[in-house]
């Protein structure tokens, strides 16, 4: 009688232990994937054009998230759900943050599902070593950030107008949210269309549209670092000026 009662308890304990070990393995795979993606994306911030001139670009947050998501191993996706909505590019740093909800429990072992966090953080490659940067510091030109079709230049790379902070929400919860100016969020004409809203939507604090896809153009900003004298007389961003004051 005692053996018949103890055996099921023992088997359940073994199953739970094996599940915990498997979760550690999947978490390690996810962390390695984020680190590899972050290292690759950090190099993408620096390039040389056809004339040999160095160019510096801030990777778009949405593009970084889309790339990192595509590189997550298939096994992780088959065993749970991953979101990288908390990732961001700020002050020269790329931070990929993932929340992983693994498939937990079964009819024999019901377990409450909890998210598991993983993170990778790297500094964007600027094309110069620390020693080279120190040597040129005294004669360096003032560098500013401009967007592809922007009407101002920015002195702060973390300015919300060029470095969008993307949030995720359910459509129902978003109906009660307001942006920085107190406006309601409307559907993006480019990616939502015809009212086809997914289970999760994406929005920014300063925008007034919600999106179905992180790769939507409405969530992208192509930003370049250039010398102030190359801005062709563009005015300074009022938000950057206010922050520097």
Q: 214: closest CA among 39, 87, 94?
A: 87
Which DSSP state fits 228?
Answer: G
Q: Helix (H, G, I), strand (E, B), or coil: what is residue 111?
A: coil
| Residue 204 β-bridge partners | 166
- The whole-number average pLDDT for the span 132-158 is 71
- Here the tokens at position 170 are 């359910």
Dist CA 163 CA 194 (whole Å): 29
The answer to whether residue 138 scores a pLDDT higher than 50 is: no
Q: Which own/partner pairs from 179-187 qualify as long-range (CB within 8 Å, at least 24 positions apart)?
A: 179/203, 179/204, 179/205, 179/206, 179/207, 179/208, 180/205, 180/206, 181/206, 181/208, 183/208, 184/208, 185/209, 185/210, 186/210
Determine how β-strand 186-187 pairs with β-strand 209-210: parallel
**Chain segment 17-30, per-residue pLDDT in tens:** 777 777 788 888 88
Cα 125–chain centre separation:
17
Q: pTM score > 0.85 for this model?
A: no
**Chain segment 161-194, per-residue pLDDT in tens:** 777 778 888 888 888 888 887 888 888 887 776 5
Burial class of residue 48 in the structure, from the number of CB atoms within 10 Å of its CB (0-12 exposed, 13-18 middle, 19+ buried): exposed
| Residue 34 β-bridge partners | none
Dist CA 231 CA 154 (whole Å): 10
């Amino acid at each position: 009688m005692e053996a018949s009662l103890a055996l099921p308890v023992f088997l359940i304990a073994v199953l739970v232990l094996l599940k915990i070990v498997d979760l550690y393995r999947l978490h390690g795979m996810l962390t390695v994937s984020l680190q590899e993606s972050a290292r690759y994306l950090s190099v993408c911030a620096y390039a040389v054009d056809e004339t040999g001139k160095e160019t510096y670009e801030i990777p778009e947050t949405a593009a970084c998230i889309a790339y990192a998501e595509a590189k997550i191993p298939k096994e992780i996706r088959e065993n749970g759900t991953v979101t990288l909505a908390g990732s961001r590019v700020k002050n020269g740093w790329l931070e990929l943050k993932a929340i992983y909800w693994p498939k937990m429990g079964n009819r024999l072992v019901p377990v409450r599902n909890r998210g598991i966090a993983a993170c990778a953080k790297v500094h964007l490659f600027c094309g110069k070593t620390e020693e080279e940067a120190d040597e040129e510091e005294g004669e360096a030109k003032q560098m500013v950030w401009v967007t592809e079709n922007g009407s101002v230049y920015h002195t702060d790379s973390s300015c919300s107008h060029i470095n969008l902070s993307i949030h995720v929400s359910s459509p129902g919860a978003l109906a009660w949210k307001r942006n920085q100016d107190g406006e309601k969020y409307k559907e993006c004409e480019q990616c939502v269309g015809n009212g086809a809203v997914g289970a999760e939507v994406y929005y920014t604090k300063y925008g007034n549209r919600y999106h179905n896809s992180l790769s939507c153009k409405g969530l992208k900003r192509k930003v370049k670092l250039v010398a102030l004298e190359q801005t062709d007389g563009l005015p300074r961003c009022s938000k950057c000026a206010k922050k520097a004051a």
